[in-house]
Amino acid sequence: MTEGHAESSDEMLMVRYKRGDRDAFAELVRRYQRPLFNFSLRYVRNREAAQEIAQDAFLRVVKRSADFKHESRFSTWIFAITRNLCIDELRKAKHRVHSSLDETSTNGQSLGEKIDGGKPALDGEQGASNNELRGGILKAVDSLPEDQREVFLLRQMGGVPFAEIARITGTPENTVKSRMRYALERLQKELREYEEYARALR
Protein backbone atom coordinates (compact mmCIF):
# COMPACT_ATOMS: atom_id res chain seq x y z
CA MET A 1 0.00 0.00 0.00
CA THR A 2 1.63 3.24 -1.10
CA GLU A 3 -0.73 5.60 0.69
CA GLY A 4 0.34 6.02 4.33
CA HIS A 5 -2.19 6.62 7.04
CA ALA A 6 -0.45 9.80 8.16
CA GLU A 7 -0.74 11.22 4.63
CA SER A 8 -4.41 10.40 4.21
CA SER A 9 -7.11 12.97 4.88
CA ASP A 10 -9.82 12.07 7.37
CA GLU A 11 -12.29 11.91 4.53
CA MET A 12 -10.17 9.48 2.51
CA LEU A 13 -9.67 7.32 5.57
CA MET A 14 -13.42 7.14 5.98
CA VAL A 15 -13.88 6.20 2.35
CA ARG A 16 -11.27 3.47 2.71
CA TYR A 17 -12.99 2.18 5.84
CA LYS A 18 -16.28 1.98 3.99
CA ARG A 19 -14.46 -0.18 1.45
CA GLY A 20 -13.37 -2.56 4.20
CA ASP A 21 -10.04 -1.10 5.35
CA ARG A 22 -10.07 -1.56 9.13
CA ASP A 23 -6.66 0.06 9.49
CA ALA A 24 -8.15 3.26 8.12
CA PHE A 25 -10.73 3.28 10.90
CA ALA A 26 -8.04 2.59 13.49
CA GLU A 27 -6.20 5.69 12.26
CA LEU A 28 -9.35 7.79 12.63
CA VAL A 29 -9.72 6.55 16.19
CA ARG A 30 -6.10 7.45 16.88
CA ARG A 31 -6.60 10.96 15.52
CA TYR A 32 -9.89 11.73 17.22
CA GLN A 33 -10.07 9.71 20.43
CA ARG A 34 -8.34 12.32 22.57
CA PRO A 35 -10.00 15.41 21.00
CA LEU A 36 -13.46 13.85 21.35
CA PHE A 37 -12.80 12.87 24.95
CA ASN A 38 -11.54 16.34 25.86
CA PHE A 39 -14.46 18.01 24.08
CA SER A 40 -16.94 15.74 25.85
CA LEU A 41 -15.27 16.29 29.21
CA ARG A 42 -15.61 20.06 28.94
CA TYR A 43 -19.18 19.70 27.71
CA VAL A 44 -20.57 17.26 30.26
CA ARG A 45 -18.01 17.85 33.03
CA ASN A 46 -17.74 14.22 33.99
CA ARG A 47 -14.76 12.04 33.13
CA GLU A 48 -16.50 8.67 33.05
CA ALA A 49 -19.38 10.01 30.97
CA ALA A 50 -16.92 11.68 28.58
CA GLN A 51 -15.09 8.40 28.02
CA GLU A 52 -18.36 6.64 27.26
CA ILE A 53 -19.43 9.41 24.89
CA ALA A 54 -16.17 9.26 22.95
CA GLN A 55 -16.50 5.49 22.58
CA ASP A 56 -20.15 5.77 21.63
CA ALA A 57 -19.29 8.38 19.00
CA PHE A 58 -17.07 5.89 17.18
CA LEU A 59 -19.76 3.23 17.44
CA ARG A 60 -22.15 5.68 15.79
CA VAL A 61 -19.60 6.25 13.04
CA VAL A 62 -19.50 2.51 12.40
CA LYS A 63 -23.28 2.18 12.39
CA ARG A 64 -23.78 5.26 10.21
CA SER A 65 -20.79 4.92 7.92
CA ALA A 66 -23.07 4.61 4.90
CA ASP A 67 -24.45 8.08 5.68
CA PHE A 68 -21.07 9.76 5.37
CA LYS A 69 -20.52 11.64 2.12
CA HIS A 70 -17.00 11.93 0.74
CA GLU A 71 -17.40 15.68 0.11
CA SER A 72 -18.28 16.29 3.76
CA ARG A 73 -15.77 17.12 6.49
CA PHE A 74 -15.29 14.10 8.73
CA SER A 75 -14.33 16.30 11.68
CA THR A 76 -17.60 18.23 11.46
CA TRP A 77 -19.58 15.00 11.19
CA ILE A 78 -18.02 13.28 14.18
CA PHE A 79 -18.12 16.40 16.37
CA ALA A 80 -21.80 16.81 15.50
CA ILE A 81 -22.38 13.21 16.61
CA THR A 82 -20.41 13.82 19.80
CA ARG A 83 -22.25 17.05 20.55
CA ASN A 84 -25.60 15.28 20.29
CA LEU A 85 -24.39 12.55 22.63
CA CYS A 86 -23.24 15.21 25.10
CA ILE A 87 -26.64 16.90 24.98
CA ASP A 88 -28.33 13.56 25.63
CA GLU A 89 -26.02 12.95 28.59
CA LEU A 90 -26.75 16.36 30.10
CA ARG A 91 -30.45 15.72 29.82
CA LYS A 92 -29.98 12.53 31.82
CA ALA A 93 -27.72 14.10 34.43
CA LYS A 94 -28.59 17.77 34.88
CA HIS A 95 -27.10 18.05 38.34
CA ARG A 96 -23.81 16.33 37.75
CA VAL A 97 -20.84 17.49 39.83
CA HIS A 98 -18.00 19.20 37.97
CA SER A 99 -15.13 17.60 39.89
CA SER A 100 -13.62 15.85 36.87
CA LEU A 101 -12.65 19.10 35.12
CA ASP A 102 -9.12 19.02 36.51
CA GLU A 103 -8.37 15.39 35.78
CA THR A 104 -7.12 15.45 32.19
CA SER A 105 -3.49 15.88 31.30
CA THR A 106 -2.26 16.45 27.74
CA ASN A 107 0.55 18.34 26.11
CA GLY A 108 -0.07 21.53 24.17
CA GLN A 109 0.32 25.27 23.78
CA SER A 110 -2.91 26.70 22.35
CA LEU A 111 -5.86 27.84 24.43
CA GLY A 112 -7.80 24.75 23.44
CA GLU A 113 -4.92 22.54 24.47
CA LYS A 114 -4.51 24.44 27.73
CA ILE A 115 -8.16 23.71 28.40
CA ASP A 116 -7.48 20.07 27.57
CA GLY A 117 -5.21 19.94 30.58
CA GLY A 118 -2.04 21.78 29.67
CA LYS A 119 1.48 20.49 30.20
CA PRO A 120 2.34 18.18 33.08
CA ALA A 121 2.76 20.08 36.33
CA LEU A 122 6.20 21.60 36.85
CA ASP A 123 8.13 21.90 40.07
CA GLY A 124 8.37 25.11 42.05
CA GLU A 125 7.06 28.56 41.22
CA GLN A 126 6.61 27.94 37.48
CA GLY A 127 4.50 24.86 38.13
CA ALA A 128 2.32 26.73 40.60
CA SER A 129 1.85 29.56 38.11
CA ASN A 130 0.89 27.15 35.31
CA ASN A 131 -1.59 25.34 37.55
CA GLU A 132 -3.11 28.66 38.61
CA LEU A 133 -3.50 29.71 34.98
CA ARG A 134 -5.02 26.40 34.06
CA GLY A 135 -7.47 26.57 36.94
CA GLY A 136 -8.45 30.11 35.99
CA ILE A 137 -9.07 29.13 32.38
CA LEU A 138 -11.16 26.11 33.34
CA LYS A 139 -13.25 28.17 35.74
CA ALA A 140 -13.77 30.91 33.16
CA VAL A 141 -14.80 28.48 30.41
CA ASP A 142 -17.11 26.67 32.80
CA SER A 143 -18.83 29.97 33.64
CA LEU A 144 -19.72 30.75 30.02
CA PRO A 145 -23.42 30.62 29.09
CA GLU A 146 -24.25 27.27 27.54
CA ASP A 147 -24.72 28.56 23.99
CA GLN A 148 -21.41 30.46 24.09
CA ARG A 149 -19.55 27.57 25.68
CA GLU A 150 -20.82 25.18 23.01
CA VAL A 151 -19.56 27.39 20.17
CA PHE A 152 -16.28 28.00 21.97
CA LEU A 153 -15.65 24.28 22.47
CA LEU A 154 -16.52 23.36 18.90
CA ARG A 155 -14.34 26.11 17.51
CA GLN A 156 -11.40 26.11 19.91
CA MET A 157 -11.16 22.42 20.75
CA GLY A 158 -12.77 20.83 17.70
CA GLY A 159 -11.39 23.23 15.12
CA VAL A 160 -14.81 23.27 13.45
CA PRO A 161 -15.34 26.21 11.02
CA PHE A 162 -18.03 28.73 11.92
CA ALA A 163 -20.15 27.76 8.93
CA GLU A 164 -20.11 24.13 10.06
CA ILE A 165 -20.87 25.08 13.68
CA ALA A 166 -23.89 26.94 12.35
CA ARG A 167 -24.98 23.80 10.54
CA ILE A 168 -24.40 21.58 13.58
CA THR A 169 -26.28 23.83 16.00
CA GLY A 170 -28.99 24.95 13.58
CA THR A 171 -28.01 28.58 14.20
CA PRO A 172 -27.25 31.38 11.70
CA GLU A 173 -23.52 31.79 11.12
CA ASN A 174 -23.57 35.43 12.24
CA THR A 175 -25.14 34.34 15.51
CA VAL A 176 -22.45 31.70 15.96
CA LYS A 177 -19.74 34.32 15.40
CA SER A 178 -21.45 36.66 17.87
CA ARG A 179 -21.53 33.92 20.51
CA MET A 180 -17.85 33.26 19.98
CA ARG A 181 -17.06 36.96 20.27
CA TYR A 182 -19.09 37.28 23.47
CA ALA A 183 -17.38 34.18 24.85
CA LEU A 184 -13.93 35.63 24.16
CA GLU A 185 -14.89 38.97 25.67
CA ARG A 186 -16.22 37.27 28.76
CA LEU A 187 -13.10 35.13 29.08
CA GLN A 188 -10.98 38.26 28.85
CA LYS A 189 -12.88 39.81 31.73
CA GLU A 190 -12.63 36.64 33.79
CA LEU A 191 -8.90 36.37 33.13
CA ARG A 192 -7.81 39.96 33.72
CA GLU A 193 -4.94 38.77 35.86
CA TYR A 194 -3.66 36.93 32.78
CA GLU A 195 -3.79 39.89 30.41
CA GLU A 196 -1.16 38.58 28.02
CA TYR A 197 -2.97 35.28 27.66
CA ALA A 198 -6.34 36.96 27.27
CA ARG A 199 -5.03 39.13 24.43
CA ALA A 200 -4.09 35.95 22.56
CA LEU A 201 -7.78 35.05 22.43
CA ARG A 202 -8.28 37.76 19.82
Q: Where are the domains of the chain?
A: 1-98, 107-202
Q: Do domains 1-98 and 107-202 have the same CATH topology?
A: no
- In terms of pLDDT, which residue wins out, 202 or 68? 68
What's the pLDDT score for residue 156? 86
Give me the mean pLDDT over the 92-121 stretch: 48
Residue 147: helix, strand or coil by DSSP? helix
Residue 75 has pLDDT above 60, yes or no: yes
Helix 74-92 vs helix 10-18: crossing angle, to nearest 10: 80
Confidence (pLDDT) at 57: 97
What percent helix, strand, coil does the chain show, rounded to 5? 75, 0, 25
Instruction: Give the span between the Cα atoms of 179 and 184, in whole angstroms.
Output: 9
pLDDT digits (tens, 9 = 90+) for 134-147: 677 777 888 899 99
Which residue, 53, 38, 179, 187, is CA-closest to 115? 38
pLDDT at 166 over 60: yes
Comparing 63-67, 121-125, 139-143, 162-166, the range with the smallest average pLDDT is: 121-125
Cα–Cα distance for residue pair 192/1, rounded to 1 Å: 53
Instruction: Tell me which long-range contacts 29-38 makes (C-beta under 8 A, separation of at least 24).
Output: 29/58, 32/58, 32/75, 32/78, 33/58, 34/106, 34/116, 35/157, 35/158, 36/78, 36/79, 36/82, 37/104, 38/104, 38/106, 38/115, 38/116, 38/117, 38/157
**Per-residue pLDDT at 87 exceeds 90:** yes
Q: In this structure, which CATH number among 1.10.3720.10, 1.10.10.10, 1.10.645.10, 2.60.120.10 belongs to the domain 107-202?
A: 1.10.10.10
- What pLDDT is attached to residue 85? 96
Model pTM? 0.69
Q: Which CATH number fits domain 1-98: 1.20.1270.10, 3.40.50.150, 1.10.1740.10, 1.20.1440.230?
A: 1.10.1740.10
